[in-house]
Structure 1
């Protein structure tokens, strides 16, 4: 994952184009570049003689239209001259030689088969798109040229804009994960709309998707290759991955467009507090039926609002689940809508309007568009003959307008679902179940068997392996609930777990190792469609079994497949039949291809003895550590809080603790320290967070006052610096209050240079190149 030099695509200081346009798409690209860049800021090379014109020209972006110009020697020359990005507009794929030639310069390539990029703030259009997008707050990322063009055409028809849009094409280098990272960090992008046709690096995609979804809504539409022998419909494994990452999946292109309209035009809808308003009982029924079809209960006005509504609009009637404004005239209708929008119980209003006699669409569109509360109203203009111009006028006025009540409610559901998925991302799981398996011995045993030609474990070997993870034995005679668990390799996401309650005959639920108890419970709920059978003890036992099987998947790369039926008795006794099928391989795939989610880095755990023979346990943080982290933070003095957080914080929230404990181990290092004799308490913490380029990483150290003076802070910072070096991070830095003399003294003693902070006069910046760090401490970390 890296964002290095991607910005050269969006903000180039100079553009050089190689080759004649081939076809109308490239001709459009050339016209767009010429319209975006001044004549002095680009050069067009079509012959060898034109190369001489580049001697004094500084180009940060190169556009390859003819692949014959895209040789490794040309790429090497571009990199040496300071070019930082290449838009590969040619249809021929980018070769491995070209990619290798670009690597020494961190020269980034977009394409092939890309539609290019458009950045609306400065009007940079380096795309093959025939239409010009209007500015907006939503980023559009696609892999498909045709869907990029369709999305832009639709957005213009609805008067909706983009902060920028990009088509990654064949993704030889820059992919959708890179673009997600770019969008997540872009302050001018409020939300992201993503189309996914293929995922080449699951670990990278999941890491970027989770990072983006934590800070802004991401809508995603998956598309599949149009081949006769391909699977039908959306891939449920992809859907499970999107949900795990916190993305909101749209069912079809129409849903994606409506979701885009909601993202761009509606205020944040944190819940389903939508009031249905219609000019007739039938119009109201269309709105409420749509709400109920999408499992959303319409919001209801407060008693004070209901009483006042009769004064504002005497013709209006409160139907309980909707407001029928009936034959109210234009002024009364506006008064009613304004009053409803001011109700504290209401986030948005779904206004369904029929062109009945005396109430044509056009005057109502104009009146609502001019009202100050228009941004809180979703309009649905019924009919066709007069509805089409009403929708066009609504779009021109930038009203959130939809073709049907179902489309409007679906868009709201996407907005509200984001809040739900974000809460799931930050939910606090219970502690992981204790598993005492001897992983090294099991790996050696499986390697020996696989090397000897064994592909499927015998019943005895399978029972031994399952027993090591707390799952074994014959199925109990009295079974509360039984599920079938499969583990297999998915073409895109590596090892996938599926759970199915065969007694119900519904589709399985899917998940990815590692699992915690919350994720396992959600899988079981999905596998039973919420119709949980058996006792709570049996259900919890099965959830624990899924967590343990997920740990088995993480621990044992030799595991190629698994198919077992796990049963739990009414008291939670967990067992599996002896005929469980477990497949092994002598050639495990690489971890990043095998596991879509970064596993817990157990290797970081160690015991350290510090001054006075004080012993501590140092390990990577877990999501279930949230209560311990809150206890530590709440025990700090006001001065300790100020030195660590640069501010006084009276209350540490769940969201803040979740951000600290739920880390992406591929991007962050977060260590916690416990006294050896009190492993259920924390004495300190240390974090290292790298930027997506892995150029710089910021550290932070916190040691409780009861544990200062023994060298704990020094040990934590040493561990973080060694991790930075191992990960190839170039520079480690920290912002330190100028008054924090102990921290500054520690930093200097480890080789950090102290610099003045450009952002805050009360703090300084300490930094050190990780290659220059020589650890003065012994032991592991």
Structure 2
């Protein structure tokens, strides 16, 4: 149900504790005490049938006996009582429950299942069970058994661990860091990461979201919510269990490379989240986000009165991938005028150990004014010749007076020693302070990485080559043939047919049942002067080198015959249990300056198919040079995937070796992602090696495993993709009322120019009616929000005139994370009204809502927009006053089952 009812968790008007106890140190008593000490202002009730009063508060025997209905209940009863208690709360009309009680078990027949059945019919939201509770400082709500309440601030913390939540609260109190909310999810029976990300993405009191993750259950829901949240504000995540050996049982090299944590890392990157690897780093990220909203670039200037710590800072910056800012000649000249002759005359700017406040002022002003500097790290080393407090005052004074471009540049501070007054001065001026230069540089790089993630989410990817049109019918026939034969692995001939369907270059292969057939098969190749490769063919032997099952560079029929006989004999001796079908014969591929790569598809139990790329060869697992990405991919994402590996460096030209065709490599990765989208039965796919040089790529060896498709997600579309691909099935030609045929398709990320041209044909009044306010500037960010869609829960259908290619109108539908409700929006060119465009788009939107399985479609319409209200009534929408805004009405359409034959 996504964010439904979560307002009752974080801003309840009334609260009741069920299971509060007078027993000292009991959870129920601590929760009640924390609620009272937080000065919760609404009605506070206590339910306990065995005591008349607890801590001076009269108790009620049941929820019904309270005489009023609490909006939120906190449950601390014994586990066996929880389902009945929650059922009573649901029946009474309670909106939400925080179930702190542990020990409800999991799965069918458990108390947790009973709890879910008790809550869901009425829509009662549940946090927990087995959780620390919830803190919402701005609402004066401490519904937890933590030792101390969180201070009010603008960071939202969502944690699967109560202990981590407590630790973050204590860290915040020690550093005057506050939270908009702290949530311990516990077993997350109902409310999960997706729901909470949706909630805090829209929460005006939350500037950044911190996540502590142990595992993700619903990957598509998480990815959809995380991508939406990351577009709105920074999301920082730390995940435990980074070294779990999740890939040991994989049968292919790509499967072995795709360890569980590497897949999580790929998922976080795809969602635009900032990943850190420890609580220390999470604390540092929180400190940075508390003070700084962004950075315009990665070039850091370092100002210090101690040269050694300045050098350490730039070393750390280089290690983390940042850029040491280069001072302009004008800045150096300006600093020459105000600094002693012994200053460093470069970045880091060492203003010498006796620097006073005036020296800090002059140097900082010059560095902030330098166009080659994006941010400044200011440091102070305590000496007997200078005053740390005076230096801090100088920094604050400069920041208070800066204007224009300099005002956009963040300033970080490291004041070594025990100069608390100086640190307090900086903190009060909203300057992030750190204990060491390394922490400060990491803080700066968090901002850089977060900004890069935001930019990546908004980029317009290049289009695929127009001539890439996979033969999906041929590919599906290959899979069907293998399934019918009961095969787990495609044989090399089937692999070749599958790759041909996706235009992936692969070495030709010929089957030979025995040594004599191998010699005959090789004759044509040998006659053309080509050497030959012979490999064992067995569905039970996937790593051929394990049985010495490969012979290279054979140049005569006799050599082929002897090699094939030897291979077959060794395979039977080494694997007497294996089915030996024969051998394959292929031309020897000799590309002297080619690089050996590996790429393929692995399958993850949580996130489904994953695209793997890296350094290939027989020692691929030992070298372990790989990167992963969740499909679908476009060419930009594919190039980014390549760039994250060490092997990408040798794809460039060096010495007498020309650069490899990285565009061809990227295209193979995109094709593999498309293959994974089209063929859910492909469990693993391994190309090793893929040879790449300036002339292109060729797959020398490849294996494909097929497996039954076990859906990871509910709803239509690919059953296993965590990121839903472009829904091509919704491309269609339709006829308007006047008989004209138009083309309708889902919006694509590259449609920015199409939308920009469309808006020139929409009046300012129509824009106001659509967006509820005047729209005067169509920025890249504004249009990116309309074109960069997460197809898992959002769709925008554009209508295009086929002859001109012009956009006539668009309708969009945004579903909640549980595919229960959807909200629509529509806009038609102002000069084309009255031609039935809006009507056809609305009908298509309703059809799509049926396809998604939504229960309700709704929207907000300005009361003055009588045309839209009339069309909604004709389509069956109910029109109701908006309870929160008298200028609006809500239109609501119940969605029934899709009619037969639709």
Same fold (TM over 0.5): yes
1:91 aligns with 2:102: yes
Which one of 353, 376, 380 corresponds to residue 353 of structure 1?
380
In structure 2, the partner of 1:688 is 813
Alignment root-mean-square deviation, CA? 3.7
In the TM superposition, residue 101 of structure 1 has moved relative to its aligned partner by 1.6
Classify 1:572/1:742 alpha carbon distance in 2 versus 1 (closer, same or farther; 3 Å). farther
Give the deviation of 1:420 after TM superposition: 0.6
- Of stretches 302-311 and 157-166 in structure 1, the one that deviates more from structure 2 is 302-311
Structure-2 residue corresponding to 1:720: 845
Structure 1 counterpart of 2:198, from 168, 181, 186:
181
C-alpha displacement of 1:203: 0.8
Give the unaligned 5+ runs of structure 2: 53-59, 105-110, 249-257, 402-406, 509-588, 653-657
| Counterpart selection for 1:589 from 670, 695, 711 | 711
> Quick check: 1:672–1:684 contact (8 Å CA) kept in 2?
yes
590, 599, 616: which is aligned to 2:742?
616
State the distance in 2 between where 1:409 and 1:636 align.
47
Choose from 465, 469, 475 the match for 2:502.
Answer: 469
The aligned counterpart of 1:51 is 61
Per-residue CA deviation, residues 520-572 of structure 1 (Å, 9 max, x unaligned), is 11112223454151677721122111111111111112111111236466565
SS of the aligned residue for 2:358 comes to helix
d(CA) in 2 for partners of 1:643 and 1:29? Answer: 48
- The answer to which of 88-97 and 188-197 deviates more is 88-97
Counterparts of 1:618-637 in structure 2 under 5 Å?
Answer: 618-634=744-760, 636=762
1:718-757 map, 5 Å: 718-726=843-851, 727-736=853-862, 738=864, 743-752=868-877
Contact 1:754/1:764 (<8 A) preserved: no
Distance 2:893 2:711 in 1: 34
Match of 1:523 in 2: 641
Counterpart among 241, 254, 264 of residue 280 in structure 2: 254
1:542 matched to 2:639? The reply is no
More deviation in 299-308 or 31-40? 299-308
Aligned length, in residue pairs: 772
- Residue 35 of structure 2 corresponds to residue 33 of structure 1: yes
The answer on whether the counterparts of 1:45 and 1:51 sit within 8 Å (CA) in structure 2 is yes
Report what 1:665 is aligned to.
Answer: 791
Helix, strand or coil at the partner of 1:121: helix
The CA distance in 1 between the partners of 2:114 and 2:244, in whole Å, is: 30
Q: Which residue of 2 aligns with 1:769?
A: 893
Query: Secondary structure at 1:221's aligned position in 2?
Result: strand
Greater displacement, 89-98 / 203-212: 89-98
Question: Aligned match of 1:82 in 86, 93, 107?
Answer: 93
Of the three residues 393, 401, 408, the one matched with 2:440 is 408
- 2:730 match: 604
| Residues 234/259 of structure 1: CA separation in 2 closer, same or farther (3 Å cut) | farther
Contact 1:725 1:770 in 2 (8 A): no
Aligned to 2:611: 497
Instruction: Note closer, same or farther for the CA distance 1:66–1:185 as it changes in structure 2 (3 Å cut).
Output: same
Query: Once the two structures are superposed, what CA deviation does each residue of 1:430-455 show, in whole Å capped at 9, x if it has no partner?
Result: 22355544546644653463254211
SS where residue 623 of structure 1 aligns? coil
- Once the two structures are TM-superposed, the CA of residue 189 in structure 1 deviates from its matched residue by 0.6
**Distance apart, 1:317 and its partner CA:** 3.7
Equivalent residue, structure 2, for 1:282: 308
C-alpha separation in 2, matches of 1:580 and 1:596: 25
Q: Residue 683 of structure 1: SS of its match in structure 2? A: strand
SS of 1:295's equivalent?
coil
1:15 aligns with 2:16: yes
Query: Which ranges of structure 1 fall in alignment gaps of 5 or more residues?
Result: none
Equivalent pair of 1:537/1:571 in contact (CA under 8 Å): yes
Structure 2 distance, partners of 1:404, 1:428, is: 39
Name which of 291, 302, 312 aligns with 2:317.
291
Alignment of 1:446-461 (within 5 A): 446-447=479-480, 449-450=482-483, 452-461=485-494
Deviations 1:49-98 (A, max 9, x none): 85257421322222222334544333221101011222221221351121
Offset of 1:387 from its aligned partner? 5.7
Aligned equivalent of 2:780: 654
The 1:114/1:451 distance shift into structure 2, 3 A limit, reads farther
Deviates more, 1:70-79 or 1:563-572: 563-572
1:117-196 equivalent positions in 2, closer than 5 A: 117-196=134-213
Q: What TM-score does the superposition give when structure 1 sets the normalisation length? A: 0.88
Distance 2:30 2:659 in 1: 63
Deviates more, 1:101-110 or 1:624-633: 624-633
SS of residue in 1 equivalent to 2:74: strand
Distance 1:660 1:441, change over 3 A: same
2:511 aligned residue: none
Q: 1:140-173: CA deviations, max 9, x gaps?
A: 1111122212222222222211111111122222
1:394–1:400 contact (8 Å) kept in structure 2: yes
Shift in CA distance, 111/459, structure 1 to aligned 2, threshold 3 Å: same
Match of 2:625 among 493, 507, 513: 507
Any idea what SS the aligned residue of 1:613 has? coil
C-alpha change, 1:27 and 1:273, in structure 2 (3 Å) is: farther
Say which SS state the counterpart of residue 153 (structure 2) adopts: strand
Give the secondary-structure state (helix, strand or coil) at the position aligned to 1:4.
coil
**In structure 2, how many angstroms separate the alpha carbons of the residues matched to 1:550 and 1:462?**
16
**Could you tell me which residue of structure 1 aligns to residue 827 of structure 2?**
702
